[in-house]
């Protein structure tokens, strides 16, 4: 087919003046249309780069996200990012916030606390973000929070459960329950529901979350009449847990509490079974990852952990979220995705109520949040910027994770 036949003649004369007839007119239309679309395309590429975000008076609001997209606990950051991204898409599709589009600026902290502080400083100073979403891990939220606080940029952690996180200052919020509640719930479940009396603990000694959760668990387990027969520690990323597990084995526990993160938990479980330890292992939300069973496999059969979210819930807000998330990512959402989604939506809820889009105005509205219907439960901020929410205990049975019980807030 020649060029002439397709109508794509190079530069046809203007139809009105040249009188070349229908074919020429159509060719000219095609040509002007493609020039127009090229210009539109060019504008679409150039405009977002040129506009400078809310802080500099642009037509969009820049929200910062910091998370572990790489490193030891990359699953935390990746899954949380999915939840945040879905929320941002939905908000923009329904008109944005106060007529402005949200733009998410995401920084990877490589699963490291010092890096979290560094990238948050960059998000605040260079990207001029209006607010911050992050981190999952308490130690990383604790490192970043003072930067947000000093700059009066509201920060919402989706899932850091250590009580100290929001005590860093009045600009620091979270949308999840706390580890005093979580530790007490796990102790109650182990003691009363499983009927165990002798617990061993294996804690990640440089992790604020792990140490705090271990302590809250021990306190409540003993208060209920149980005994902590061995208290061992490791450091995240260790490869060999045999010495600690051998000590635990000789203390003859009925249950072993491992308040760590999924990657280490999986290895610990495998080595425990290798040493002939058969008692159930229990843990907290740090076990949560789409790869928990891929890492720990059969070694985790018969184990339990506490969490924030039950994707099998029939509540309409949950079912709707599960459906949308599954369609987009081809996988059902877990707690991290649900909390990332809730943190984002809660932030925009506060932005919409704020009289102006400034850190202090948004902070005040966040602090006043009451009865917000999150997918991970209803959120009302208390005076320390923490919500009070129920917890779920999940069980690993026949290679599947399912709901064992729901514990209401105390
Ligand atoms: N609660 C954990 C912490 O504070 C993080 C976490 C939350 C991990 C939810 C998995 C799921 O460090």
Separation of 76 CA from ligand 1 center, angstroms? 8
Separation of 69 CA from ligand 1 center, angstroms? 15
Separation of 34 CA from ligand 1 center, angstroms? 51
Radius of gyration (C-alpha) of the chain in whole angstroms:
26
pLDDT given for residue 347 in this prediction: 98
Task: Please calculate the CA angle 162-156-83 and round it to the nearest 5 degrees.
Answer: 100
68, 74, 161, 172: which to mutate for ligand 1, most atoms within 8 A of CB?
Answer: 161
Residue 390 phi/psi, 5° resolution?
-75, 170
In angstroms, rounded to a whole number, what is the distance separating the alpha carbons of residues 240 and 350? 46
pLDDT given for residue 35 in this prediction: 53
SS3 state of residue 39 = helix
Separation of 143 CA from ligand 1 center, angstroms? 15
71, 159, 186, 266: which to mutate for ligand 1, most atoms within 8 A of CB?
Answer: 159
Q: Which residues of 344-382 are buried (b: 16+ CB within 10 A; e: fewer)?
A: bbbbbbbbeebeebebebbbbbbbebeebebbbbebebe
In angstroms, rounded to a whole number, what is the distance separating the alpha carbons of residues 306 and 401? 11
pLDDT given for residue 58 in this prediction: 75
Contact 181, 204 (CB under 8 A): no
In angstroms, rounded to a whole number, what is the distance separating the alpha carbons of residues 249 and 400? 27
pLDDT given for residue 8 in this prediction: 35
Q: At what angle do helices 335-353 and 359-367 cross, to 10 degrees?
A: 110
Separation of 43 CA from ligand 1 center, angstroms? 42
pLDDT given for residue 410 in this prediction: 81
Which pTM value belongs to this model?
Answer: 0.87
pLDDT given for residue 339 in this prediction: 98
Residue 263 phi/psi, 5° resolution?
-65, -45
* Owner of token pair 């493609």: 34
What are the per-10-residue average pLDDT scores of the chain (410 residues)?
Answer: 34 36 46 52 45 57 98 98 98 97 98 98 98 98 98 98 98 98 98 98 98 98 98 97 98 98 98 98 98 97 97 93 98 97 98 98 98 97 97 98 94
In angstroms, rounded to a whole number, what is the distance separating the alpha carbons of residues 256 and 244? 12
Contact 307, 405 (CB under 8 A): no
Kindly list the structural domains of the chain, giving each domain's residue range(s) and its CATH number in brackets, ordered by start. 60-177+312-389 (3.40.50.2300), 180-307 (3.40.50.2300)
pLDDT given for residue 34 in this prediction: 58
């Amino acid at each position: 087919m020649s060029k002439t036949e397709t109508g794509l003649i190079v530069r046809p004369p203007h139809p009105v003046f040249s009188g070349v007839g229908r074919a020429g007119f159509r060719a000219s239309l095609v040509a002007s249309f493609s020039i127009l679309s090229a210009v539109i395309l060019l504008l679409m590429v150039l405009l977002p780069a040129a506009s400078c975000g809310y802080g500099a008076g642009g037509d969009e609001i820049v929200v910062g996200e910091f998370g572990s997209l790489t490193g030891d606990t990359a699953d935390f950051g990746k899954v949380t990012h999915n939840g945040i991204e879905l929320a941002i898409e939905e908000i923009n599709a329904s008109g944005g916030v106060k007529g402005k589009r949200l733009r998410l600026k995401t920084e990877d902290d490589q699963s490291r606390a010092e890096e979290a502080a560094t990238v948050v400083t960059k998000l605040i100073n260079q990207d001029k973000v209006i607010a911050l979403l992050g981190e999952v891990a308490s130690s990383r939220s604790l490192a970043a929070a003072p930067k947000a606080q000093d700059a009066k940029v509201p920060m919402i952690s989706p899932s850091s459960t250590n009580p100290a996180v929001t005590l860093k200052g009045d600009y620091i919020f979270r949308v999840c329950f706390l580890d005093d509640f979580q530790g007490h719930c796990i102790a109650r479940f182990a003691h009363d529901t499983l009927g165990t009396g002798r617990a061993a603990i294996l804690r990640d000694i440089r992790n604020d979350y792990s140490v705090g959760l271990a302590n809250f668990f021990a306190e409540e387990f003993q208060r209920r009449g149980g005994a902590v027969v061995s208290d061992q520690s490791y450091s995240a990323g260790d490869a060999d847990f045999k010495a600690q597990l051998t000590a635990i084995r000789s203390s003859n526990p009925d249950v072993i509490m491992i308040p760590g993160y999924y990657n280490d938990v999986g290895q610990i479980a495998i080595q425990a079974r290798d040493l002939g330890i058969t008692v159930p292992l229990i843990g907290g939300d740090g076990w949560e990852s789409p790869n928990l069973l891929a890492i720990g496999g059969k070694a985790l059969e018969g184990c339990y952990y506490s969490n924030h979210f039950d994707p099998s819930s029939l509540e309409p807000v949950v079912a709707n979220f599960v459906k949308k998330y599954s369609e987009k990512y081809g996988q059902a959402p877990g707690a991290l995705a649900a909390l990332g989604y809730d943190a984002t939506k809660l932030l925009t809820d506060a932005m919409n109520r704020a009289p102006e889009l400034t850190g202090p105005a948004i902070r005040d509205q966040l602090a006043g949040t009451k009865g917000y219907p999150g997918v991970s439960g209803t959120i009302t901020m208390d005076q320390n910027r923490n919500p009070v929410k129920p917890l779920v205990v999940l069980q690993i049975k026949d290679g599947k994770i399912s709901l064992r019980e729901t514990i209401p807030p105390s």
